[in-house]
């Protein structure tokens, strides 16, 4: 029996690989090769994937290590990233549109509510002024003071 065994990687290790690839710009649609060279989208000419579109460095003929990534894989990764960003934005919008008591706040109604509350505040200010004026009048006639 061999002392080494192989098992499928856990989902967390797969995610860490994806995160590492994302940090190194290996995830999604590549913009440049690792060497800084321009990428070309060309059909693969060798192996079982002959004819499959791939991103390949224009300098790959020099024998060094250069980027070679299949187009369909890059597109799937890019769509996955966009889907994740869309879900994050949905969560953010849902968070921003929740009221203090957990009810849904509709942004289109916010301006009407602000206007209404502004009018209410105006009425309250007017009442406070009237009460203040009434108190001053009362205190001047009877000799009362605020303190």
- Reported as a single tens digit per residue, the pLDDT across 51-110 is 999 999 999 888 888 888 999 999 999 999 999 999 999 999 888 888 778 888 777 777
Q: Are residues 89 and 28 in the same domain?
A: yes
Give the Cα separation of 1 and 110 in Å (integer): 71
For residue 104, the SS3 value is strand
Q: Are residues 72 and 114 in the same domain?
A: no
Q: Is the pLDDT of residue 7 over 50?
A: no
Give the Cα separation of 7 and 2 in Å (integer): 14
Domain interval for residue 26:
11-96
Task: Check residue 21 and give its pLDDT.
Answer: 54
Give the Cα separation of 118 and 27 in Å (integer): 51
Give the Cα separation of 49 and 69 in Å (integer): 12
Task: Check residue 25 and give its pLDDT.
Answer: 56
Q: Are residues 75 and 34 in the same domain?
A: yes
Q: Are residues 78 and 114 in the same domain?
A: no
Domain total of the chain:
2
Q: Which H/E stretch holds residue 107?
A: helix 107-142
Q: Are residues 16 and 87 in the same domain?
A: yes
Q: Are residues 69 and 135 in the same domain?
A: no
Using a cut of 0.75, tell me whether the model's pTM lies above it.
no
Q: Are residues 81 and 32 in the same domain?
A: yes
Q: Are residues 74 and 121 in the same domain?
A: no
Give the pLDDT band (50/70/90) at residue 1: very low
Q: Residue 89 has which token pair?
A: 């934005």
Please report where in the chains the tokens 């994302």 appear, as a residue. Answer: 22
More reliable by pLDDT, 113 or 87: 87
Q: Is the pLDDT of residue 146 over 70?
A: no
């Amino acid at each position: 029996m061999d002392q080494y065994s192989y098992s499928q990687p856990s989902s967390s290790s797969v995610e860490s690989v994806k995160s590492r690839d994302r940090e190194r710009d290996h995830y999604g649609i590549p913009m440049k090769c690792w060497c800084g060279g321009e990428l070309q989208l060309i059909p693969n000419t060798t192996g079982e994937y002959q004819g499959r579109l791939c991103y390949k460095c224009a300098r790959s003929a020099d024998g060094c290590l250069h980027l070679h990534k299949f187009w369909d894989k890059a597109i799937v990764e890019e769509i996955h990233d966009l889907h994740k960003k869309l879900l994050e934005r949905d969560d953010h919008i849902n968070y921003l549109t929740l009221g203090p008591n957990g009810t849904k706040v509709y942004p289109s109604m916010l301006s009407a509510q602000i206007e209404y509350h502004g009018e209410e505040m105006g009425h309250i200010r007017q009442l406070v002024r009237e009460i203040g004026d009434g108190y001053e009048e009362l205190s001047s006639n009877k000799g009362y003071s605020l303190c």
